[in-house]
Structure 1
Amino acid sequence: MQNTPLIGKTIREARLREAAGVSVIGVWQGGRLLPPHPDLLLDEMSLPVVMGTREQIDELNIMLVIYSANDEPVLVIGGGTVGQAATRALRRQNIGVHLIEIAPCAGLEAIPDRLFAGDAADLRVLMEAGLDKTPSVLLTTHDDATNIFLAVYCRRLNPEVRIVSRITYERNVEAILRAGANFVLSEAWLGAEIVMAQLMGRETIILGEGVELMTLPLPSSLAGQTLAESGIGARTGLNVIAIEQDGAFVANPPPSVPLRRDCQLVALGSLAQRQVFDAAYSNGEA
């Protein structure tokens, strides 16, 4: 979002569907995935989540890439297993990477574009690695307290940088978001998501901490109502992003779309919101 014409516009004003055919299904702001309300204002740290075909996503990237003038390497802090995997993944996408590791192992220098041996808490090391220029910082150390400290430190030194962090314990997610991270993934949540995906026979889809993509059979009490009349969003907090009917999908359905008895709802939300949905509609309430 940074440096694009979308800053300062609402989702309605951004007109991404008209421009590229994609549907906005949520917006990450302040570490939270918000429903795509048409009047939601986009700022420099907003991260819209869009849905579309490969061609539509490519078209959107072409539209916005001209505004992403920062081609400086991404800064990865922590050269352990996670840091190395992230570095390799970024480089496979032809994204430059500078890696900081306090105790580099043999051969580590061959993984990033450039390796900086030293403590990331050292201002000199951070600046030599390019913190003041990088568009993004990835915190991958195995210590939550260290990642929280580094999130605060990096945010103060570069208020515009996007910070993504690993967290070992889910209880520390709120702390690192307050510290300045834009996006957080905990190992506990990732592990649970992978196990559930395997049990349900589906691909693992990572949308963010605590956010899941779920398919819900339409409760009989809602059959014949429109999506707006169902009140699903207001009552449960779930964001219905598509409706599946006879093998066909209606993406980003309008509030006026009728809900047929045999349709299924594709929604984004948390486990707690799913439980609210089940409780609200399982007893025939409308």
Structure 2
Amino acid sequence: MLIYLFTVYKIFRDSLYYQRLRNALLLIFAVHVLGTIGYLAISGGKASVLDALYMVFITVATIGYSEVIDMSNSPAGRVFTMIVGFTGIGTLTYLFSAITAFVLETNINHAYRRLRMERTIAALSGHYIVCGVGRVGSYIADELLKTERSFVVVDVNEKTVEAHCERTGHQIYLTGDASDDDVLLRAGVERCRGVFAVSGDDSKNLVISLSARQLNPAVRIVARVHDPRNADKTRRAGADEIVSPDFTGGMRLASAMLRPHAVSFMDMMLRTENNLRVEEVVVPNDFRPCTIAELGPNPDWMLVAIRTGDKWVFNPGPTARIEPGQALISIVSPAGRRALEAAVGASGTLESGFPL
């Protein structure tokens, strides 16, 4: 409850009504101070400060109690009381109008959820940012959820974000333009592992790639491009990989015709209960070289290839050596990926899963 009240105060402080409230409170304070001084003067110094202040309060609040300071023989005192009452009531009306406008025009619960979301995102590190959660971005989000990776969804369309949250139950998102540096910073681009620039606009994906690269030179960026002529521009802007849904879809259709059993194998692997994927884990620089046999067998992963620079070793045997800087390609579940990372001490390295 205290957190909620503090959040409401923070929302109010950052709103346009904060200035109005502060001015109203200052005016009320000034009315009470000047009124107290005036009543002290009218009483000829006979009334106490508390009596004078009380006289101002009951006048401004329109309580109507009997006069603490006798005004029956002081026409000037009665005129002063009318001025205090008129000014005080007007100031109170101004104060209540500011509070009422804030309550009616501000969605406090929505603003509270937004601030809580930003605090959640601020605690993330090594996550992914999905810029655009339309037809393509929604599939990316599904894959990240299935492989148990943390990510933030960013989309300018609030209804699209709401549909994503309702469909998946994923509740870490920002509503805004991902090509804006401030939005990317709020999404944690400086601490993230990767950015998916997958909006439906090639030019926006280019700007997202450029902004993300400038804000985090080490981040991995994958961008969606419709027009092949924009691929080189987007890559020069900072994208590490360019994916064309039209090209990929065409290749998949050709594979379904020419090699149906291989395609069926990959499809069935993706539909298993433990969400098997072909994953890569980069061996950290401080890893002590050893063989696969020395690493120890584990039923949670199946090592299918080792990449050293541009050299590939497929189906490595137990005597194959694992050394720093290598990429270990394996068929694993999310739990198996974490076990393999722990085995080579790569829990903090950049890993990427790619269903084929």
Normalised TM-score (structure 1): 0.45
**Relative contact order: is structure 1 or structure 2 higher (C-alpha 8 Å, sep ≥ 6)?**
1
**Structure whose residues are more often helix by fraction:** 2
Larger radius of gyration: 2
**Structure whose residues are more often strand by fraction:** 1
Normalised TM-score (structure 2): 0.37
